[in-house]
Structure 1
Amino acid sequence: MGNRGMEDLIPLVNKLQDAFSAIGQNANLDLPQIAVVGGQSAGKSSVLENFVGKMLLDTLPGLRNKLQSQLLSIEKEVEEYKNFRPDDPSRKTKALLQMVQQFAVDFEKCIEGSGDQIDTYELSGGARINRIFHERFPFELVKMEFDEKELRKEISYAIKNIHGIRTGLFTPDMAFETIVKRQIGKIKEPCQKCVDLVISELVNTVRQCTKKLAQYPMLREEMERIVTQHIRDRESRTKGQVMLLIDIELAYMNTNHEDFIGFANAQQRSSQMSKKKDAGNKVIRKGWLTINNIGIMKGGAKEYWFVLTAETLSWYKDDEEKEKKYMLPVDNLKLRDIEKSFMSSKHIFALFNTEQRNVYKDYRQLELACETQEEVDSWKASFLRAGVYPERIMVSSEESSSESFMHSMDPQLERQVETIRNLVDSYMAIVNKTVRDLMPKTIMHLMINNTKEFIHAELLAQLYSCGDQNTLMEESAEQAQHRDEMLRMYYALKEALNIIGDISTTTVSTSLPPPVDDSWLQPKTK
């Protein structure tokens, strides 16, 4: 490389360094430093210049590739910014329309599910609502189910009060209707709770979907407000319809229902007080749980792999299920909640035996811990399918009076109570089945599908009616700064690529001169 080539190279390299400074930290590229060499002989200077020039030329292809790939990565985004005019009303209208359409698509994907951009870290809004419908709501229904002793006491009082002063020879069907209506009335609370849980998930889904609108904070806030307000407006309509479903059930006792056992079979059905379990060893649920109440001397709390079937609860060392630690029959087991300890972040529930026996080795109850309350609720719902129900808490005085009342019952009255009890059990199973089927359908129609239609059809009009569109579409300071940085980087990258092209064409490398032939020099003789 001659002196002339080196003179041309140095200013180009300086320009390239300036371009890299303009690109900023995001470029993450190194540029060889060129130092001006002085005080050297002509031969040495020529060799050094060639060496430095060759090193730079060897580096240029790699630099060019990195710059081009970086330019391509931001080109699509910068294309939107090139002709950007903040005060252009048509741009704001177009952006508003795009944002509303994108929000509608994202909301529907979160609820209905989609094959693209699947979140693998947490459940989407639709998946959470599905769990409310098919796990949480059935669990809340069972929690409201009647206490056995209290129910029999109510049936007995109803029979006696219907007979009055007379001695009844036949079991009065009015007692059946009275008790069933009381039990149906108790369903209202879990139904309303189900609506509340779904509303909460819908509102969370709306907030999740508006995160993409961060560049327009006013639009995001207004969109959240409008959609959330619509959901709240639908709440009263949905709850009213749900209460209407319960009132319809209360209006008429259909004792001709094909699934109802009827008076003829009720007397032969004493074994039906406990619900039928799924046959065989059908696996209901598998998952990790921590046994929380094992003492420190025995190893302390430890996590195991649990397998729940219709008849047993087993736990293993790990999810390979090769080393079984214990197997516990689920007969006579019930659930109770354990108060969360301030020393632990885990959520705990316990299994205990209704016959006052030890559940596991020397322990009266088996305390099981989960990381979240959602996991606890899901496990409780699974235990319900295995016939393990929540504990009923009774005041001791009521319990003792109930016990004495049961012992004082005459045989004829006891038979009548048993008949009504079986009829109530059969009819409530029909009602619960109907409610479990209709609740998700009602909420889907009146709440979820209606909200989707509102977003598609009316949200844009509501946003236009809110006021000044310019204020609504005002960019955040962060977005404006980001746009300026991207444009600056884009033009600096293009400038750097142009300079590299100039260096490649301007700089011409020459080979080293041939060695000087000094063979003619004769050594001096002494």
Structure 2
Amino acid sequence: MEFDEKELRREISYAIKNIHGIRTGLFTPDMAFETIVKKQILKIKEPSLKCVDMVITELINTVRQCTKKLGQYPHLREEMDRIVTTHIRDREGRTKQQVMLLIDIELSYMNTNHEDFIGFANAQQRSSQMNKKKTSGNQVIRKGWLTINNIGIMKGGAKEYWFVMTAENLSWYKDDEEKEKKYMLPLDNLKLRDIEKGFMSSKHIFALFNTEQRNVYKDYRQLELASETQEEVDSWKASFLRAGVYPERVGQSEGEENGSGDNFMHSMDPQLERQGETIRNLVDSYMGIVNKTIRDLMPKTIMHLMIINTKDFIHSELLAQLYSCADQNILMEESPEQAQRRDEMLRMY
């Protein structure tokens, strides 16, 4: 399950502010972590129930494929289809109850002593620039196409490249095969700023610049990157946030003009940024544990409560229910087409 990085960081920021209230928070609040994690766990419910629905649909289709072989006995086919489908629908309710129980169990207690959980100390280390290189330097945060807007001007126009961003570097390649690397840009001391679209340009642009007034790439003070949609640009900005590349500070008037909701990151104080990054790392670590647990238990739950149970029902109870629910002579009545075919065969031979 993927996170909406921008929305998640906004929720973390609000949770920290709400818990601190009017007080100045010296420490990262663990209640903010619990609040955000519970919201993320609740989002697992919908895809989990959808998974059960997809299995049920596939199971019913399989049953109908099998009962097609009984086409010469339509009453028997209909009765068998009805009995098995009714049983599957009964198991559907029980399976969904169990899936909801699994998620409610995850919501009931945050096991921060789990062996795979990084803990607050490691999360704070990971959020710092020094320790980030030791822990996640080679971790790929995002891949995708972007256009380098300003470098290509002297070479006949802007050009599109395949970008790969890790916690330390931003690299771009000729194409998505990642064989021919064009350049690797360290992310140290970089920040983001928005660039206004040109008169004839339809692309949305943002730029990377060095906070120490150094050239970013060769003789260029900033690297302008463009994408076709604003949504794609916002997604890239959120990925840069994860790598520790923050937006440029903006003035109060510009912040008011654009709206406080979209620029909540710009107004964050450094302490709130650090606490938000710590909570983000904690949420990422804990949700990895939860997702791993749910991915492991979901197929087991569905297999046990639905598929194996339905198979056992067909083997042991289907025949008994067929005998008890209707007149066997009616069930074994042939279809008119089958009776006509049999009479024709008898006349021929």
Q: Same fold (TM over 0.5)?
A: yes
What's the offset of the Cα at 1:275? Answer: 10
> Closer, same or farther in 2 for the Cα pair 1:277/1:199, shift >3 Å?
farther
> Closer, same or farther in 2 for the Cα pair 1:205/1:421, shift >3 Å?
same
What's the offset of the Cα at 1:255? Answer: 0.9
> Closer, same or farther in 2 for the Cα pair 1:400/1:148, shift >3 Å?
farther
Task: Tell me the equivalent position of 2:37.
Answer: 180
Q: 1:260 aligned to 2:260?
A: no
**Structure 1 gap segments, 5+ residues each:** 1-141, 279-310, 312-325, 331-351, 366-396, 492-526
- Which is worse superposed, 223-232 or 477-486? 477-486
1:383-431: CA deviation from partner (whole Å, max 9, x where unpaired): xxxxxxxxxxxxxx9x954432111111111110110010000100111
What's the offset of the Cα at 1:273? Answer: 9.2
Match of 1:462 among 321, 343, 347: 321
Match of 2:282 among 410, 423, 443: 423
Which structure carries more strand by proportion? Answer: 2
Percentage identity across aligned positions?
Answer: 77
1:82-101: CA deviation from partner (whole Å, max 9, x where unpaired): xxxxxxxxxxxxxxxxxxxx
Please give the alpha-carbon distance, in whole angstroms, between the structure 2 residues aligned to 1:237 and 1:354: 51
> Closer, same or farther in 2 for the Cα pair 1:275/1:469, shift >3 Å?
farther
Task: Tell me the equivalent position of 1:211.
Answer: 68
Q: 1:412 aligned to 2:285?
A: no
What's the offset of the Cα at 1:468? Answer: 1.3
Please give the alpha-carbon distance, in whole angstroms, between the structure 1 residues aligned to 2:264 and 2:308: 52
| One-letter amino acid matched to 2:94 | R
Q: 1:157 aligned to 2:14?
A: yes
1:127-178: CA deviation from partner (whole Å, max 9, x where unpaired): xxxxxxxxxxxxxxx2xx3311211111112112212222111111111111
Please give the alpha-carbon distance, in whole angstroms, between the structure 2 residues aligned to 1:452 and 1:208: 15
**Structure 2 gap segments, 5+ residues each:** 142-163, 165-173, 179-202, 207-223, 230-255
Q: 1:449 aligned to 2:297?
A: no
Task: Tell me the equivalent position of 1:487.
Answer: 346
Task: Tell me the equivalent position of 1:472.
Answer: 331
Task: Tell me the equivalent position of 2:175.
Answer: 327
With the length of structure 2 as denominator, give the TM-score of the two structures.
0.64
What's the offset of the Cα at 1:488? Answer: 3.5
Contact 1:273 1:422 in 2 (8 A): no
| One-letter amino acid matched to 1:201 | E
| One-letter amino acid matched to 1:261 | I
Please give the alpha-carbon distance, in whole angstroms, between the structure 2 residues aligned to 1:155 and 1:419: 10
With the length of structure 1 as denominator, give the TM-score of the two structures.
0.43
What's the offset of the Cα at 1:461? Answer: 1.3
SS of the aligned residue for 1:328 comes to coil
Task: Tell me the equivalent position of 1:242.
Answer: 99
Contact 2:41 2:103 in 1 (8 A): yes
Please give the alpha-carbon distance, in whole angstroms, between the structure 2 residues aligned to 1:244 and 1:274: 38
Task: Tell me the equivalent position of 1:16.
Answer: none
Give the root-mean-square deviation of aligned CA atoms: 3.0
Q: 1:435 aligned to 2:294?
A: yes
Superposed, 1:361-380 pairs within 5 Å as 364=228
Superposed, 1:212-227 pairs within 5 Å as 212-227=69-84
Higher RCO, 1 or 2 (CA under 8 Å, sep at least 6)?
A: 1
Please give the alpha-carbon distance, in whole angstroms, between the structure 2 residues aligned to 1:164 and 1:173: 15
Superposed, 1:342-361 pairs within 5 Å as none
Please give the alpha-carbon distance, in whole angstroms, between the structure 1 residues aligned to 2:93 and 2:204: 42
Please give the alpha-carbon distance, in whole angstroms, between the structure 1 residues aligned to 2:86 and 2:205: 47
Q: 1:169 aligned to 2:26?
A: yes
Please give the alpha-carbon distance, in whole angstroms, between the structure 2 residues aligned to 1:358 and 1:172: 37
SS of the aligned residue for 1:327 comes to coil
